[in-house]
Amino acid sequence: MSLALNNIVKRFKTETVLNDVSLTVETGETLVLFGPSGAGKTVLLRLIAGVIEPDAGQILIHGKDMDGVEPEDRGIGMAFQNFALFPHMDASANIAAPLTARRMGQGAISDTVGKVAKMLKIDHVLHHKPKELSNGQKQRTALARALAGAPSILLLDDPLRNVDAKLRFEMRLELPRLLKDQQATVIYVTQDYKEAMALGDRIAVMSGHGIQQIGTPQDIYLNPANIDIARLFGDPVINLLDVTPEADGAGVVVSVSGQPLRLDAGYADAVGQDCVIGIRPESLRFVSKGTKGAIPVTIETEAPLNEKTVTLALTKNGREIMISRPAGEIAPSSGDAYVAADTSQVYLFDRKTGARVEHSSAENKKKGAA
Amino acid sequence: MESTSLIERILRGIAITVVILFFMFPIFWIFLMSLQTNETILRVPPSMVFEPSLQNYRALITGQLETQTGTLEIRFMGNLFNSFFLSTTSVAIGLLLGVPAAYAFARLKFRGSEDIAFTLLSFRFAPPLLVLLPLTIYFQQIGLANTYGGLIWVYQLIVLPLILWIVRGYFEDIPADVEYAYRIAGHDFWATFRKIALPLAGPGIAAAGLLAFIFAWNNFIFALVLASADKQPVTVGALAFITASGIQYGQIAAGIILSIAPTFALALYAQRYLVEGLSLGAVKG
């Protein structure tokens, strides 16, 4: 284990930003901190970097308590969201900063800088000052500076936030390989769920002063701990419909647009409660009229999104739902149609708290739920 | 600038000329006076027609003042040296003390930091005469009266608050992340101060230093009270031209020209930095 946070609390004046946050990161793992702005992701990174101090709790790096250890002695590399390049130094001096701190020889420094710059494809702009660099080059320079010292822990604070969409896409493909090559433990902050899914070995979802759920990208996607996480992960966004589960002789049933949808019998505890049902757009499919449990809808519009096609439809009660299917699959594109849900892939949430209503057989699978 | 009509350009030209005349005429007149003898200066009505002579400058540089009653020793060049020495040393010490202090006030929010910074600024609120009387008595008791050291110490009242408050703003303008990035890269607090904060606040420090130099150079009252003849700067030394046999206007004028020359040259040379430093703020990352 290369990094452990134990019960971290951080307040700014009277406002609590992080409340009792605990986290462990294994050596060589890439952990993504994902969440909306203001969730405390950057604060958490800064606590690890040592530029701010926690009000309570313990930070361990390689098992050593970091209390009172200055940022320069923690052996980490960090790339800032706003790049934070040194404006009066050229790109090569910027990248060399972690090396000059170790009093390496001039030759060794320029060798290492050259190698890192080449890897990030900025070797042709090494003599430019930050203000002469494009945004993409600045971002790569900031990343190169973080990597140059070959730190055992690498903190990346939303490094792709301030670059254009094309570059972000390229870097999203490039970064996982780059990070694996470094063999460093990486903590990566982002607000983009695709980035989180693409880069993370595990994802920690942060909101409301703490970590809501930690798990593999697949785990988070398939077993969201609450309604917010379900909404954040997935494109198009999950369909959320208000329901009240009822019991019938055979099990638990909810009514969606007047049609009964049979749920797993494990949801018996939720009977009679105000709930929200979450159905992923890809768990819905078009069926022919008369199929059992088919929900009648009116198709509003259809949008082809490269590898998939998304249909926006209205139920009889006037609620919008989205249906996603692989591109090329034939389906009605206008008028009235019928859809059916794969009931093994639906989620039930408490309408008041937003927490996932677990069905009893899944209780043992529950992970990190708030 | 957007295109302007002919009338607007003419009016603007006239306005600028009037302003320049208004501000520059006294200096121009003093320059003319410095090339004349007392007789031609005191003519009624005054005239711009005269035979220029450098005798005033000669008198200042040789230290021999010719008056109707005889030759008088003056120490004008000594005064000029004093001004130079006092101002330069004061600013150097002021920068040495003020810049690290400004950094501390900008970055380390410790208990009472605002109060201390404000107290330092408040030195500039009270008229200097207010502190001079007690200061004179103390200085005489501890043997600092009429010493360069004592004067330089008192000059800190002028230069230190100025440097502190100007430079502090520049340090505050440097994004904290830039400094954090250098720390995380493995450099300690002092290296970060020297390699990141100082260079980035450079224009501000230069501007503050220049202003402090000008303020110190132009100071009159501290030196008048606390220094005797051999330690006096030019501002006080010029009083020597009011002699028993009359006021030596020609020499006073030449003295003024000589004493404003260094600050004038410095300001011209550093104009770019001054304007940049005072208006722009530090380099943004």
Tens of pLDDT, residues A19-68: 888 999 998 899 999 988 888 888 999 999 999 999 999 999 988 888 88
CB A285 within 8 A of CB A275: no
User: Which residue among A74, A88, A98 places its CB closest to the CB of B200?
Assistant: A88
Question: Going residue by residue through chain B (285 aa), what tens digit of pLDDT does each one get?
Answer: 556 788 999 999 999 999 999 998 998 888 988 888 877 888 878 777 778 888 888 888 887 777 666 677 778 888 889 899 999 999 999 999 999 999 999 988 788 888 888 888 887 787 878 888 888 899 889 988 888 999 999 899 889 999 998 999 899 988 999 999 999 999 999 999 999 999 988 888 988 998 899 899 988 888 888 887 788 888 888 777 777 777 888 888 888 888 888 888 888 887 777 666 655 443 333
Find which of A47, A48, A88, A103 to mutate to test the B interface (most B CBs within 10 Å of its CB). A88
CA distance linking residue A207 with residue A41, whole number of Å = 9
Judge contact between B102 and B164, C-beta under 8 A: yes
Position B94 scores a pLDDT of 95
Task: Check if A103 contacts B (Cβ < 8 Å).
Answer: no
Cα gap A259→A238, rounded to integer Å: 19
What ipTM is given for this predicted complex? 0.81
What whole-number percentage of chain A has pLDDT above 70?
97
Q: According to the model, what pLDDT value does residue B285 have? A: 36
- Asked whether the beta carbons of residue B183 and residue A72 sit closer than 8 angstroms, the reply is yes
Q: What is the DSSP code string of B38-78?
A: HHHHT-SS--S------HHHHHHHHTEEEETTEEEE--HHH
- Could you give the percent of chain A with pLDDT greater than 90? 21
User: Regarding beta strands A275-279 and A346-350, do their DSSP bridges make them parallel or antiparallel, or are they unpaired?
Assistant: antiparallel
Choose the weakest-confidence range: A81-95, A261-275, B23-37. A261-275
Which of A46, A50, A84 comes nearest B285 by C-beta?
A84
What pLDDT is recorded for position B85? Answer: 93
Task: Give residue A363's pLDDT.
Answer: 46
Closest CB to B177: pick one of A82, A102, A149.
Answer: A82
What is residue B233's three-state secondary structure? coil
* Domains with residue ranges and CATH for chain A: 3-230 (3.40.50.300), 236-365 (2.40.50.140)
Residues A206, A40 contacting (CB under 8 angstroms): yes
Confidence of residue A251 (pLDDT cuts 50, 70, 90): confident
Minimum Cα–Cα distance from A88: chain B residue: B200
CA A66 to chain centre: 27
Which residues from A are below 8 Å from B201, CB to CB?
A: none
CATH topology of domain B76-279: MetI-like fold (1.10.3720)
Quote the CA–CA distance of A235 and A192 in Å, as a whole number.
11
Write the residue in A70, A77, A97 that is nearest to B182 by C-beta: A97
* Interval A131-150 mean pLDDT: 89
Question: What pLDDT score does A145 carry?
Answer: 92
Round to whole Å and give the CA distance between A221 and A234: 7
pLDDT, residue B188, reads 92
pLDDT digits (tens, 9 = 90+) for A185-206: 999 999 888 888 888 899 999 9
The position carrying tokens 């009624």 is B44
pLDDT value for B3? 64
B189 touching chain A per CB within 8 A: yes
Average pLDDT, chain A: 86
CATH 1.10.3720.10 residue window(s) in chain B: 76-279
Interface membership of A171 toward B (CB under 8 Å): no
Residue A181 clears pLDDT 90, i.e. is over it: no
Please give the average per-residue pLDDT across A258-267, as a whole number.
81
- What's the gap in Å between the CA of A84 and the closest CA on chain B? 5
The alpha carbon dihedral of A169, A171, A177, A180 has a sign of negative
3-class DSSP state for residue A213? strand
> For residues A52 and A291, which has the higher predicted lDDT (pLDDT)?
A52
Cβ-proximal residues to A36 (8 Å cutoff; 6+ apart), any chain = A191, A207, A232
pLDDT tens for A313-368 read 888 888 888 999 888 888 888 888 899 888 878 888 988 888 888 776 544 444 44
B196 touches chain A (CB under 8 A): yes
What single DSSP character describes residue A173?
Answer: H
Q: What's the Cα-to-Cα distance from A301 to each of A324, A336, A339, rounded to whole Å? A: 12, 12, 15
What pLDDT does residue B180 have? 93
Q: Give chain B positions within 8 Å (CB) of A101.
A: 185-187, 191
Residue in B177, B187, B188 nearest the CB of A84: B177
Own/partner pairs, B89-92, CB within 8 angstroms, 24+ separation: B89/B148, B89/B152, B90/B152, B90/B155, B90/B156, B90/B158, B90/B159, B90/B212, B90/B216, B91/B159, B91/B163, B91/B209, B91/B212, B91/B213, B91/B216
